[in-house]
Amino acid sequence: MKAIRVDAPGGPEVMRLVDVPDPKPGEGEALVRIEAAGVNFIDVYHRTGAYALPFPLVPGQEGAGTVAAVGGGVTEFAAGDRVAFAAGSGTYAELASVPAARLVQIPSAVSTKQAAAAMLQGMTAHYLATSTYPLKPGDTCLVHAAAGGVGQLLTQIAKLRGARVLGTVSSEDKAKLAREAGAETILYTKEDFAAAVRRMTGGAGVQVVYDGVGRDTFEKSLDSLAVRGTMVLFGQASGAVPPIDPQILNQKGSLYLTRPTLAHYTRTRGELLSRAGEVLGWIASGKLNVRVFRELPLSEAAEAHRLLESRRTTGKLLLIPGI
């Protein structure tokens, strides 16, 4: 089969399309013919070595497609099932072997590409808004990169829960998309977003900041919180946040700080099915719009990473094998 392989950490150019042997489904696994692989920021961290994985590696955690075969002990899935997943490995490929416990069936009203686009960022937005800090009517949240993949979904889910959303973006074009998703926007490349948040909340600050940008926003995110507010640092698109003195949480208002990850919010089969079921259900019923920014052939994985890293995407990037 064709797959993207990375032999050593580096820039986007280290991702090469190569021929490799087809994977075989092991015990408890299903072999999935990938129809769309989701591109995520974590794939960049894996490619650069920022999050350590052994090399050589085939990038990609997210995908959707059709079950081609199942390994021993798999009873819940059979060849021909349409499935999606966010916690596989090696999805920048025509085939991937995935633990059956990580798969979900795709509802008939949701396309395979929509499912590939929604699993990782959609379930992330879901756990942030419903579990890490469960938003309620009357709350105001700050969402960074509100026109991004997670950002647009998180904004919509926050609105579904009745919260007010302030969303940061780097351009007017992105502001338009974030507003369509339900945010009141702040151009954080032009103005001090913490000052804007104080102005827009009558000086009170927000109950929660969802920060996936990291190094460039972390400190001012703390400055944007109300007393006893919650700082949710869930990513580092601009770089890693340096170590902090916990005393700062006291000085800025007895704040809570958490650094969550999707794996811990989909630990059991029940939690995975309930989160994925709600996200895919909202898509099926039209309550949640997943914006696919661009579909690229698998061979253009390097271009996909360049687009994501240079802040030129607004929504999901998909890699499509076989085109």
Q: Which residues bind ligand NDP (CB under 6 A)?
A: 40-42, 120-121, 124, 145, 147-151, 169-170, 174, 212-213, 216, 234-238, 260-262, 308-309, 311, 313
Minimum CB distance to ligand NDP, residue 20 (Å): 26
175 close to 148: Cβ distance less than 8 angstroms = no
Give the DSSP letter of residue 300.
Answer: G
Q: In this complex, which beta carbon is closest to ligand NDP, that of residue 77 or of residue 193? A: 193
Q: In this complex, which beta carbon is closest to ligand NDP, that of residue 121 or of residue 221? A: 121
Minimum CB distance to ligand NDP, residue 127 (Å): 7
Give the DSSP letter of residue 240.
Answer: P
233 close to 214: Cβ distance less than 8 angstroms = yes
Q: Whole-angstrom Cα distance, residue 253 to residue 263?
A: 30
Minimum CB distance to ligand NDP, residue 210 (Å): 9
Q: In this complex, which beta carbon is closest to ligand NDP, that of residue 24 or of residue 176? A: 176
Q: In this complex, which beta carbon is closest to ligand NDP, that of residue 70 or of residue 272? A: 272
Minimum CB distance to ligand NDP, residue 101 (Å): 19
Q: Whole-angstrom Cα distance, residue 281 to residue 275?
A: 10
Q: In this complex, which beta carbon is closest to ligand NDP, that of residue 158 or of residue 213? A: 213
103 close to 24: Cβ distance less than 8 angstroms = no
Minimum CB distance to ligand NDP, residue 157 (Å): 13
312 close to 15: Cβ distance less than 8 angstroms = no
Q: Is 175 exposed, middle or buried (0-12, 13-18, 19+ CB in 10 A)?
A: buried
Which residue, among 139, 197, 202, 150, has the nearest Cα to 178 in the 3D structure?
150
If DSSP codes are grouped into helix, strand and coil, which group holds residue 67? Answer: strand
Q: In this complex, which beta carbon is closest to ligand NDP, that of residue 190 or of residue 287? A: 190
59 close to 10: Cβ distance less than 8 angstroms = no
Q: In this complex, which beta carbon is closest to ligand NDP, that of residue 81 or of residue 278? A: 278
Long-range contacts of residues 240-245, Cβ cutoff 8 Å, at least 24 apart:
240/50, 240/214, 240/215, 241/214, 241/215, 242/215
Q: Whole-angstrom Cα distance, residue 3 to residue 172?
A: 37
Minimum CB distance to ligand NDP, residue 192 (Å): 15
Phi, psi of 219 (to 5 degrees): -65, -45
Q: In this complex, which beta carbon is closest to ligand NDP, that of residue 6 or of residue 120? A: 120
Minimum CB distance to ligand NDP, residue 191 (Å): 13
| DSSP β-bridge partners for residue 276 | none
Minimum CB distance to ligand NDP, residue 305 (Å): 11
